[in-house]
Amino acid sequence: MLITHDTRCALDTVVDLVNTAPEDDAAADGLPDVEALAVFVRGHAVSDVGVLSEFDLSAVRKVRGRFARIFAAPDARAAAGLINELVAAAGTTPRLTDHDGYDWHVHYFAPGASLADHLAADCGMALAFFVVAGEQERLRRCEAPDCRRAFVDLSRNRSRRYCDSRTCGNRLHVAAYRARRKESESAG
């Protein structure tokens, strides 16, 4: 599957956005205030964003929840329905642009769109490309029992199971090794 630069940026943005959500009521929100939202926007080089407000923060959190449901969708049909609702509500308006030194690419948000609509349109379309390509199963959650972070599996054979093999994957492999070793010691 060919993934263009702007699609890859949108995928990284949506994954990072979904992963700002608290995993339970005891966890902190990764977007606790407008300043954190501004840092997120700068960190992801989201273009055409004006002054952010509490309204933007609330709207982005709602969009974040809708994206989380896409990552949890059981199949392509369910994901497609959620994506269709998301991008339609954002007032998607495809247009070609070559801003900030980037070659021609497509923005899907309308000029002057709110940050939430901007993210819903551009990131929603990036996820739509995966559904269209028959690759919806690449939109995953980490399989580590203590982690449910979202990620996009871009491995050649669709075999990635963890959000980060150095942390979640390694932690599980070490735990399995220790359990096997403990079992062999008690049997011996």
Q: How do 95-97 and 139-141 pair as beta strands?
A: unpaired
**pTM for this predicted structure:** 0.85
- The model's pLDDT over 87-112, given as tens digits with 9 standing for 90+, comes to 999 988 888 988 777 788 888 888 88
Percent share of the chain, pLDDT over 70: 91
- The model's pLDDT over 120-146, given as tens digits with 9 standing for 90+, comes to 999 999 999 999 999 999 999 998 888
Q: How far is Cα 122 from Cα 15, in angstroms, rounded to an integer?
A: 13
pLDDT at 182: 72
Could you identify the residue written with the tokens 């199949």?
75
Phi, psi angles (nearest 5°) of residue 59: -65, -40
